Copies of this chain bind each other. A is one copy, B any other.
Amino acid sequence: MPYHHGNLREELLTAAMELARTSGPDAVVLRAATRSAGVSHNAAYRHFADRDSLLRAVCDRCMAQLANRMEDNLGRIEESGDAVADGWARLAAVGLAYIEFAQAEPGWFRTAYSVPDTHEPFGPGEGVGRSGRTPLGLLSDCLDQLCAVGGITVEKRHDAEYAAWCAVHGVSSLLVDGPLRAMPPADREVAVAKVLQVIGDGLAR
């Protein structure tokens, strides 16, 4: 191992992402990250002002992972020719991606929403996936499209992201951290389907 590491900042972030993945935001710890990078613990201070700055950078990446998962699900959709049906399918794909991400990567999910109070929330260009859009941006896009093709009214479109986001966020939180965490997979599917169905009905009406 040479004295100059070469890419320590990146390696610290990789290590910290692994900590977050396994054990959530509280496990994003300077000493553990440097340990895992094979470097003395205060080498980290060359690249991050303090522990919260490292955590903040990790939050960004976690949110980006969520965005990527949503984009993946969107990319897998086959157009049916029916613009309204496709619009609903896209919205469902985005919502399901959110819930699946939370369950598949609970540590990342929790961390994505753990920006320290001492730091600014995500600014433009932060927490974005490959397409450059945030999770919320991707959801907005779906709703815009659905509105454009007449799947939902303009009135319903207004602030609709709150309804959709809160519903999928709520079911994700309750399944991952909350009282539903012990729920068997079959029941989870029932709960998730009900949430998506009611939200869809509520927007359609």
Q: Point out residues on A near B: beta carbons under 8 Å.
A: 113, 115, 121-122, 136, 156, 159-160, 162-163, 165-171, 173-174, 177-179, 182, 190-191, 194-195, 197-205
Chain B hits for A159, CB < 8 A: 190-191, 194
Chain B hits for A200, CB < 8 A: 202
Cross-chain contact B191 with A201 (CB below 8 angstroms): no
Cross-chain contact B162 with A195 (CB below 8 angstroms): yes
Complexed CA–CA distance, A194 and B152 (Å): 15
Cross-chain contact B202 with A198 (CB below 8 angstroms): yes
Q: Of B169, B197, B203, which contacts A174 at CB under 8 A? A: B169
Chain B hits for A122, CB < 8 A: 179
Complexed CA–CA distance, A2 and B168 (Å): 54
Complexed CA–CA distance, A204 and B115 (Å): 37
Chain B hits for A156, CB < 8 A: 198
Cross-chain contact B160 with A198 (CB below 8 angstroms): yes
Cross-chain contact A167 with B163 (CB below 8 angstroms): yes
Knowing A198-B199, A201-B205, A205-B201 touch, does A173 contact B179 (C-beta < 8 A)? no
